[in-house]
Amino acid sequence: MQMPATTLIQSLMVFSGCAACVWIAGARLAYLADALADRFKLAKSLVGLVLLSLATSLPEVATTLTAAMQQSRDLVLNNLFGGIALQTAILAMADFWARGPITNYPRKANHALEATLLVLLLSVALIITNLGETFVVEGVGIGSVAIAVIYCGAIWLLRRYNDSNDWMPVDLPDPDPLAFPAPTGLSDTADVSLILQAVFACVAILFFGVLLVIFAERIADQSGLGAGFVGVTLLAAATSLPELSTSIAAVRIGAYTMAISNIFGSNLIMLVLVFPADILFRAGPILQDTSRTVSLALAFGLVVTAIYLTGLIVRRKPRLGEFGLDSVLVMLTFLGSLVAYYFAR
């Protein structure tokens, strides 16, 4: 996409406008996903894991594939892996709108299993980036193929486990903190209209996501901060806006399990996007010769996911005001990661 030349200030303004559009579309999508789950009798954790996480990951899809075609390795990997800790911190922010720690609400082990499988994928990616790609076929590393295969297996396992009842937590809060159906104003909307609105929201997220990566690269060049630092901070934050707006909207209407699965599902998708990016990146395996920020981003992703995995298992946890201790630790870890990225850039 060829865009006219802009100054740094103009690039920042366009970037902010696109981010605002992505935010609005993402918030609307949460209400639509909740209404569709109720209408078609679907489990909200499954809707969050499959439908909502895929839809809110469209900016990552757009930015990743666009940056890969432009042969920008740093922007691809730092945007993907840097967004994992950021999006997990988004779940921590959602505690502010929840009635108590958000990790107290799940009634099944689905979310703990999601977090465990995410830890597995993050660990595999971290090993590959440190060892380098040993086997390469047509410019595609075997490591990115392995990540794609493990992701498919994880989704298959999560889908099968969705109906399992072999784990039951104790000391549960009220399952329906708000009146249902959720007060979104969509209860009387026709099925076709709900679907069309959801499709329109997805298209808007995808279109403005492409613009985000274009202007993020311009900001990286014009500001002198570099593609690595901008990718792991500014671009990762902008493309995570749908997850932020959808998670906050989901928590406000009481769809806690959908909010949690949305974040973990989005993080899983960001890892598997390494595979198509590797196909489009023609300068060699994309996980070869990565920067320090890539390894740091994966490590911080492991830390925040492990914290929430602990929070999902430990039901009675300390609280700091409205926030659970796990959410506070995730936020502090994320803030610490920003400092680490700056010094490692």
Q: Which whole number is the average pLDDT over 4-24?
A: 86
Q: Which of the pair, 281 or 172, is modelled with greater confidence?
A: 281
- HSE-CB at 228 with a 13 A cutoff on CA atoms is 14
Q: Which amino acid is at 48?
A: G
Determine the pLDDT at residue 272.
93
Determine the pLDDT at residue 179.
39
Residue 170 in this model has a pLDDT that exceeds 70: no
Percent pLDDT > 70 in the chain is 89
Residue 173 in this model has a pLDDT that exceeds 70: no
CA distance 144 to 140: 7
Determine the pLDDT at residue 57.
85
Q: What are phi and psi of 138, to 5 degrees?
A: 55, 40
pLDDT class of 168 with cuts at 50, 70, 90: low
CA distance 216 to 66: 12
Instruction: Work out whether strand 140-141 and strand 319-320 pair parallel, antiparallel, or are unpaired.
Output: unpaired
Alpha helices in the chain (DSSP H): 8-39, 44-46, 53-56, 58-69, 73-93, 110-131, 142-161, 191-223, 227-230, 236-239, 241-252, 256-272, 274-280, 292-313, 325-344
pLDDT class of 153 with cuts at 50, 70, 90: very high
Single out the residue of 91, 106, 46 nearest to residue 328, CA to CA: 91
Place of tokens 């981010």: 19
Residue 172 in this model has a pLDDT that exceeds 60: no
Q: Alpha carbon of 292 to those of 275, 279, 296: distances in Å?
A: 20, 23, 6
Q: What are phi and psi of 140, to 5 degrees?
A: -105, 125
- HSE-CB at 18 with a 13 A cutoff on CA atoms is 26
Interhelix angle 292-313/325-344, rounded to 10 degrees, is 180
**Over the Cα atoms of the chain, what is R_g?**
19
pLDDT in tens, 218-264: 887 787 766 666 666 777 777 777 888 888 888 877 778 888 888 99
Residue 46 in this model has a pLDDT that exceeds 90: no
pLDDT in tens, 177-193: 443 344 456 667 788 88
Residue 273 in this model has a pLDDT that exceeds 70: yes
Mean pLDDT of the residues in the chain: 82
**Could you tell me the domains of the chain?**
8-344 (1.20.1420.30)
Is the backbone of residue 289 left (phi > 0), alpha (psi -120 to 50) or beta? left
Q: Do 262 and 248 meet the contact criterion of CB atoms below 8 Å apart?
A: no
Say whether 158 sits in a helix, a strand or coil: helix
Strands (E) across the chain are located at 136-137, 140-141, 319-320, 323-324
Greatest Cα pair distance, the chain, in angstroms, is: 59
Residue 314 in this model has a pLDDT that exceeds 70: yes
Interhelix angle 8-39/191-223, rounded to 10 degrees, is 160
Q: What are phi and psi of 190, to 5 degrees?
A: -65, 155
CA distance 315 to 8: 48
Determine the pLDDT at residue 275.
94
Residue 70 in this model has a pLDDT that exceeds 60: yes
Place of tokens 């740091």: 296
Q: Which pair of structure tokens corresponds to residue 129?
A: 């980036």
Interhelix angle 8-39/241-252, rounded to 10 degrees, is 40
pLDDT in tens, 72-129: 888 788 878 888 988 899 888 888 777 778 888 777 788 889 999 999 999 999 999 9
CA distance 29 to 184: 11
Q: Do 110 and 162 meet the contact criterion of CB atoms below 8 Å apart?
A: yes
Determine the pLDDT at residue 176.
44
Residue 142 in this model has a pLDDT that exceeds 70: yes
